[in-house]
């Protein structure tokens, strides 16, 4: 005991000798210096027009607001503390002229760059940013999605040439879906419509969409829609895709069944339906007598072979409010007929879909703590609030 007291007193003495500045971890604040901007003789060009640039961390950085003169729409939102830039192929270049050359020794310190809480977005994608002399700056290389870079060693110039506009054809249109806002499994607002195309595209003509109509419970809603300039390229279901985002004049918050119709280059389409509910809902458990099916959410390869299972869902007829994992008993998951260990995450996701009694069905998704990837046939059985159920069988193949 005496030795323990001596050790504690010794540690206390050592800690007392350490400066408080070392022991205290302070949060970074707006304006705090992050490092130094260095002088450089490197010049940066967009479509052969020079743009002011800085050397930061062995990279070249540009002032984001300057992109407004080089084919972008740039908008600052003080409430959200965001600066967003969106490529606009129709916008005329008005490049900055008479940019002063840096004659100071390359590599010497020019001035610091500092922290800012403002977030920067290029076509909806967040990129790293910082402040230089009160201006928001991003790295020049973050424009790689918009064109091709060429470095000239002799002239010490970096050139970015924008990709030409590439618009989708009428048969490239995939489907339209609502980008909604919700909490706890309840959708409460629809601010956007997303138009998905199969393929990689960097431009769209909003005028190619005609006869647009927003419907709620089968009746038209007077709410104008416009393209906000944002797009996103990605791979989905082993296909290249591009989403273009259209925003409503006002958010749709009135309860009901929503869908969207129109034409793209003369081809008719109808969006996926979405239900807006009164918010919040109660916590009454789903009625076991209304259980319609127990199925899985899975991932497939390009040949539509199932390669892993991420979650199981319980679909009920009608509107249901809540689902408690504790109401599941005698659970058994089998692989090729043999019971295996598994567990669910604590969270339950609720989705209200159109279909079933009163035009609705409710789906509750439970995520496995570990995805099911072993090859073979899976089946889940058990009881929900005393009523026995069994899932469909689903087979995972070897990758």
Query: What is the full per-residue pLDDT of the chain (399 aa) written as tens digits?
Result: 444 444 444 444 444 444 444 444 567 899 999 999 999 999 999 999 999 999 999 999 999 999 999 999 999 999 999 999 999 998 999 999 999 998 999 999 999 999 999 999 998 889 999 999 999 999 999 999 999 999 999 999 999 999 999 999 999 999 999 999 998 789 999 999 999 999 999 999 999 999 999 999 999 999 999 998 889 888 988 899 999 999 999 999 999 999 999 999 999 999 999 999 988 889 999 999 999 999 999 999 989 999 999 999 999 999 999 999 999 999 999 999 999 999 999 999 999 999 777 789 999 999 999 999 999 999 999 999 999 999 999 999 987
Q: Do the two domains 171-276 and 288-396 of this chain adopt the same fold?
A: yes
How many Cβ atoms sit within 10 Å of the Cβ of residue 399?
9
Query: DSSP of 196-228, one letter per residue?
Result: EEES--S---GGGEEEEEEEETTEEE---EEEE
Task: State both tokens at 348.
Answer: 């339950």
How many Cβ atoms sit within 10 Å of the Cβ of residue 101?
6
User: Which pLDDT score, from 0 to 100, does residue 124 have?
Assistant: 83
User: Which pLDDT score, from 0 to 100, does residue 26 have?
Assistant: 62
Full-model pTM: 0.81
Strand pairing report for 387-390 and 338-340: unpaired
Question: 37, 132 in Cβ contact below 8 A?
Answer: yes
- CATH class held by domain 171-276: mainly beta
Question: 240, 247 in Cβ contact below 8 A?
Answer: no
Buried b (16+ CB within 10 A) or exposed e, 56-89: beeebbbbbebbebbbbebeeeeeeeebbbbbee
User: Which pLDDT score, from 0 to 100, does residue 136 have?
Assistant: 97
HEC profile for 77-143?
Answer: ECCCCEEEEEECCCCCCCCCCCCCCCCCCCCCEEEEEECCCCEEEECCEEECEEEECCEEEEEHHHH
| C-alpha–C-alpha distance, residues 116 and 132, integer Å | 10
User: Which pLDDT score, from 0 to 100, does residue 228 have?
Assistant: 87
Find tokens 């609030």 and name the residue.
385
Give the CA angle between residues 56, 41, 87 to the nearest 5°.
Answer: 60
Domain ranges of the chain: 33-162, 171-276, 288-396
Please give the CATH topology (third level) of the domain spanning 288-396: Immunoglobulin-like (2.60.40)
Question: 34, 115 in Cβ contact below 8 A?
Answer: yes
Find tokens 């393929």 and name the residue.
199
């Amino acid at each position: 005991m005496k030795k323990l007291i001596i050790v504690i007193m010794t540690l206390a003495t050592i800690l007392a000798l350490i400066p408080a500045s070392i022991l205290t971890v302070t949060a970074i604040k707006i304006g705090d210096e992050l490092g130094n901007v260095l002088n450089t003789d490197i010049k940066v060009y967009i479509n052969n027009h020079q743009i002011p640039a800085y050397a930061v961390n062995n990279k070249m950085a540009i002032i984001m607001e300057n992109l407004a003169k080089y084919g972008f729409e740039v908008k600052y939102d003080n409430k959200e503390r965001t600066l967003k830039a969106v490529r606009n192929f129709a916008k005329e270049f008005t490049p900055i002229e008479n940019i002063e050359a840096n004659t100071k020794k390359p590599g010497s310190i020019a001035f610091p760059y500092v922290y800012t809480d403002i977030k920067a977005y290029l076509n909806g994608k967040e990129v790293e940013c910082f402040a230089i002399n009160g201006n928001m700056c991003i790295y020049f290389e973050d424009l790689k999605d918009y064109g091709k870079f060429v470095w000239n060693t002799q002239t010490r110039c970096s050139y970015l040439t924008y990709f030409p506009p590439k618009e989708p054809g009428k048969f490239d249109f995939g489907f339209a879906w609502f980008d909604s806002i919700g909490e706890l499994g309840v959708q409460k607002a629809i601010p956007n419509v997303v138009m998905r195309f199969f393929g990689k595209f960097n431009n769209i003509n909003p005028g190619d969409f005609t006869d647009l109509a927003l419907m709620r419970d089968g009746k038209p809603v007077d709410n104008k829609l416009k393209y906000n300039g944002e797009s996103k390229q990605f791979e989905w279901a082993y296909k290249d895709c591009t989403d273009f985002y259209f925003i409503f004049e006002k958010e749709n918050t009135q309860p009901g069944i929503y869908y969207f119709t129109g034409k793209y280059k003369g081809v008719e389409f109808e969006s996926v339906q979405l239900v807006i509910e009164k918010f919040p809902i109660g916590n009454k458990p789903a009625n076991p007598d209304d259980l319609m099916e127990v199925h899985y959410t899975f991932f497939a390869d390009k040949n539509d072979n199932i390669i892993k299972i991420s979650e199981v869902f319980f679909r009920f007829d009608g509107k249901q409010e809540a689902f408690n994992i504790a109401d599941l008993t005698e659970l058994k998951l089998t692989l090729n007929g043999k019971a295996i260990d598994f567990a669910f995450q604590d969270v339950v996701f609720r989705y209200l879909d159109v279909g079933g009694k009163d035009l609705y069905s409710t789906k509750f998704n439970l995520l496995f703590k570990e995805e099911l990837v072993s090859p073979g046939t899976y089946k889940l059985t058990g009881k929900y609030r005393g009523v026995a159920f069994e899932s469909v069988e689903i087979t995972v193949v070897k990758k």
